[in-house]
């Protein structure tokens, strides 16, 4: 989860703000005037962990160039938006696959997508309230329970046979 990471980056003395791109892969640190950029980069790498690196200046400029055109670089209080966007996209993608595999109607697909979205939003709210997770892999561990809850939520919206199929298929649809 990105909010706790951004909070730790923000807490580094000399950092005025930390942002993350919408992929969660790139971090942008604004520094106090006169701050030792190399020292702060080393401290930031410790927060970010193994594999973290500073981009060469030209790559960093290329990353930040799109910000002025609307590419979102989010502050700690804004990163929950990423979880909501990802949940919406995931629910639509997974419901589309259910439709493909079962022959569900477009209305049934939409009901399934909404059930998945509601369950994902509830899980994201809980995980963010708990302070996040160290790794993105947590969703794969929780997916069977999320899938079961989403299938149950479909009870009034889809026929019993389709709900049975959804119950069988959903747990298999979140690949690593």
The helix or strand, by DSSP H or E, that contains position 112, with its residue range, turns out to be helix 106-129
Which range has the worst mean pLDDT, 74-88, 123-137, 157-171?
123-137
Domain spans in the chain, listed from the N-terminal domain onward: 2-76, 79-172
Average pLDDT over residues 77-88: 88
The tens digit of pLDDT for each residue in 37-74 reads 999 999 999 999 888 999 999 999 999 998 989 999 99
Query: The tokens 């009901």 sit on which residue?
Result: 111
Pairing verdict, β 73-74 and 15-21: antiparallel
Specify the pLDDT at position 7.
87
Average pLDDT over residues 22-32: 92
Specify the pLDDT at position 3.
78
Structure tokens at 174: 């979140």
The model carries a pTM of: 0.78
Confidence of residue 89 (pLDDT cuts 50, 70, 90): very high
Confidence of residue 176 (pLDDT cuts 50, 70, 90): low
Average pLDDT over residues 114-125: 95
Q: How far apart are CA 73 and CA 19, in angstroms?
A: 6
Q: How far apart are CA 62 and CA 116, in angstroms?
A: 36
Confidence of residue 129 (pLDDT cuts 50, 70, 90): confident
Query: Greater confidence, 94 or 134?
Result: 94
Asked whether residue 33 carries a pLDDT value surpassing 90, the answer given is yes
Q: In degrees, to the nearest 5, what angle opens at C-alpha 90 toward C-alphas 140 and 147?
A: 50
Mean per-residue pLDDT of the chain: 91
Q: How far apart are CA 137 and CA 68, in angstroms?
A: 32
């Amino acid at each position: 989860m990105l909010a706790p990471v951004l909070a730790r980056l923000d807490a580094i003395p000399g950092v005025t703000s930390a942002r993350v791109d919408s992929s969660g892969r790139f971090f942008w640190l604004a520094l106090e005037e006169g701050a030792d950029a190399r020292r702060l980069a080393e401290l930031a790498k410790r927060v970010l962990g193994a594999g973290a690196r500073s981009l060469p200046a030209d790559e960093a400029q290329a990353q930040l160039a799109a910000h002025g055109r609307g590419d979102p670089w989010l502050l700690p209080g804004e990163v929950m938006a990423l979880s909501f966007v990802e949940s919406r996209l995931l629910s639509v993608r997974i419901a589309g696959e259910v439709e493909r595999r079962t022959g569900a109607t477009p209305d049934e697909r939409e009901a399934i997508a909404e059930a998945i979205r509601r369950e994902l939003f509830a899980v994201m709210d809980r995980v963010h309230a708990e302070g996040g997770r160290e790794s993105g892999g947590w969703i794969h561990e929780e997916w069977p329970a999320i899938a079961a809850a989403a299938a149950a939520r479909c009870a009034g919206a889809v026929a019993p046979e389709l709900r049975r199929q959804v119950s069988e298929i959903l747990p298999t649809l979140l690949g690593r």
